[in-house]
Amino acid sequence: MFSYEQIFEELRGFGPYQRRLFILVSLLEISAGLAMVLPIFTHAKMDWHCVSANYSEGTNTTMITDWNNTQRENSNSSDKLLSLSCNALLQKEQCSKIIFDPEFTSIVSEWNLVCDQSYTITLINTLTMVGLLFGSLLTGPLSDYFGRKKILYGSYFLLLIFQIASGLTVSWQVYCGCRVFIGAFITCVMISNYVLPMEFIVPKWRTVVGCVGFWAIGICLTSLWAYLIRDWRILTISSACFGFPFLLTWWFVAESPRWLLTKGKHEEMKRIITDMAQVNKRPIPDFAKLQLFIQEDGNNEHVTNTMNVKKGQTTYSYWHLFNSIENCKFTLILMFGWFVCCSVYYGLLFNTKSLHGDRYINLFLSGIVELPALLFVIIVNNKFGRKRTIFLLVSSTGVLSTSVLIFYIFETASNYETVITVIITLAKSTGTGAWAALQVLTAEMFPTVVRSLGIAACSTMARIGAIIAMLILTLDELGKLIPFIIFGIECILFSVVLLFLPETSGLPLKDILNK
């Protein structure tokens, strides 16, 4: 029996055409990664001290309070500074001006977000993750209705616009609003960017497309960019401007043939497949066989109907993900997995500030370690299967994250903080690999007609996990290692429920929904 998958086998499963498309859409991940992790530096807390109201030159005593409210006295200084705790600072008459460490600037120094205003940083970070949640809810229906390509590039353009706007804001409230939109468009870009190339390839190449991307490059560039540019406004605007040239890739990227097929746009699908055949230097496939296959496939109600229906007649919703006990079970497990992986990923990523060592180097390493993890997934995902790969990586992340407690309790070595930094960096690596492999499994579990909806539903739970992660990070005030232990427990729980999912390695993508 002739099938849709055979067309791509004949055209080469991952030929020059698909490789070009994959690289071009992956370039958009760089700017998305930059926009996502910039707050590690633009929201960074800073050392500060307070100038007393009776400040005058000519005195020879300086009293400074840092974040630990410790005092340093400098008898050679010509400035008179008042050492104050946050409680004392609230007495306005005692403090005429807050002076921040001049090493760099952030929104903290821009709007004096210290003491009674320090909560705003957690609020902004959390609302950014809420934006990611909104983006997840909207991307599935929009990309299934308008197409993968239009939503991908439209979201990317708006992401850059709002990032520039955030660098020009005059209050933290407006800045917070911009970050909500930035979060939403980051999600739209990443979901569409993932689904689009996946629908151009055959099963054996899905792991490569699902795992390899330029998100990690964006993280590493953020570290380098922040090291070179210490002004938060210039850093934000310049990183956005960097992404505009990638919009030119629009003219070299085609719409998903699978999406066009399910929408009944067969002529456009044929044109794209013909272009693919020419670029890959393969014969043009026999479309008559494909049309006959569609007509004769009695189970494919949706695709058969789209050959004669008007635009928009058949519509799928999130309800179809739960329309049977089996579909409901698989969807819930996948959603929980995305919740855990996203919570752990962003929790470990944004908590690099709490690790011992230089913040720029720590973030750079946090990005670099993603590359060997993704390479590992590419090598073993097809050989050992999706489930085994995910189980190995997610359970390793759980063990590593919880093991820091042992090193903390038995801090016999003088460099135990460095050891903890290494362990958490490794946990970030294995967690990244687990999420990448889970994304491949998820794309293979959902059929074409609801694939974007399914991934969007999982992404929605992932963003809820990211929101929770931002709140979990506030627990480091009670204990530095508490967030790491919570993330580790989450991973261990997911490794158990993962066993109830089926294996999808090597199987063709489904186009219809089981009833």
Residue pLDDT, tens place only, 66-93: 433 333 333 333 333 333 456 555 454 4
Is the pLDDT at 457 greater than 70? The verdict is yes
Specify the pLDDT at position 491: 94
498: exposed, middle or buried (C-beta count within 10 Å: 0-12, 13-18, 19+)? buried
**Comparing C-alpha atoms, which of 294, 244, 344 is closest to residue 27?**
244
Least confident piece of the model among 89-98, 350-359, 388-397? 89-98
What tokens were used for 380?
């073993």
Average pLDDT, integer, range 393-409: 86
Give residue 211's Cα distance to chain centre: 13
Specify the pLDDT at position 291: 65
Q: What is the DSSP letter of 351?
A: G
Instruction: Tell me how far apart the terminal alpha carbons of the chain are, to the nearest angstrom.
Output: 23
Specify the pLDDT at position 496: 93
Specify the pLDDT at position 304: 40
**Comparing C-alpha atoms, which of 267, 269, 262 is closest to residue 314?**
262
Average pLDDT, integer, range 335-343: 94
φ and ψ of 38, to 5 deg = -55, -35
More confident residue, 372 or 99: 372
The domain locations on the chain are: 13-50+88-253, 320-514
Element (H, E) at 81: strand 81-82
Contacts of 155 by beta carbon, 8 Å cutoff, 6+ apart: 135, 139, 185, 188, 189, 192
- 307 contacts 294 by C-beta, under 8 angstroms: yes
Specify the pLDDT at position 501: 86
**Comparing C-alpha atoms, which of 217, 266, 274, 224 is closest to residue 246?**
217
Q: How far apart, in whole angstroms, are the C-alpha atoms of residue 448 and residue 452?
A: 8
Q: How far apart, in whole angstroms, are the C-alpha atoms of residue 446 and residue 418?
A: 43
Contacts of 262 by beta carbon, 8 Å cutoff, 6+ apart: 302, 303, 306, 448, 449, 511
- 413-438 in b/e burial notation, b at 16+ Cβ within 10 A? eeebbeebbbbbbbbbbbbbbbbbbb
Average pLDDT, integer, range 425-441: 90
pTM of the model: 0.81
Is the pLDDT at 155 greater than 90? The verdict is yes
Homologous superfamily in CATH for domain 13-50+88-253: MFS general substrate transporter like domains (1.20.1250.20)
410: exposed, middle or buried (C-beta count within 10 Å: 0-12, 13-18, 19+)? exposed
**Comparing C-alpha atoms, which of 461, 484, 483 is closest to residue 137?**
461
Specify the pLDDT at position 112: 83
Is the pLDDT at 270 greater than 80? The verdict is yes
Is the pLDDT at 309 greater than 50? The verdict is no
- 341 contacts 200 by C-beta, under 8 angstroms: no
Specify the pLDDT at position 515: 59
Q: How far apart, in whole angstroms, are the C-alpha atoms of residue 141 and residue 318?
A: 9
* CATH for 320-514 (2.60.120.10, 1.20.1250.20, 1.10.150.20, 1.10.3720.10): 1.20.1250.20
Specify the pLDDT at position 512: 63
C-beta atoms surrounding 353 within 10 Å: 15
- 151-168 in b/e burial notation, b at 16+ Cβ within 10 A? bbbbbbbbbbbbbbbbbe
Helix (H, G, I), strand (E, B) or coil at 134: helix
Give percent above pLDDT 90 in the chain. 34
Q: Do domains 13-50+88-253 and 320-514 have the same CATH topology?
A: yes
Is the pLDDT at 204 greater than 70? The verdict is yes
Specify the pLDDT at position 70: 38
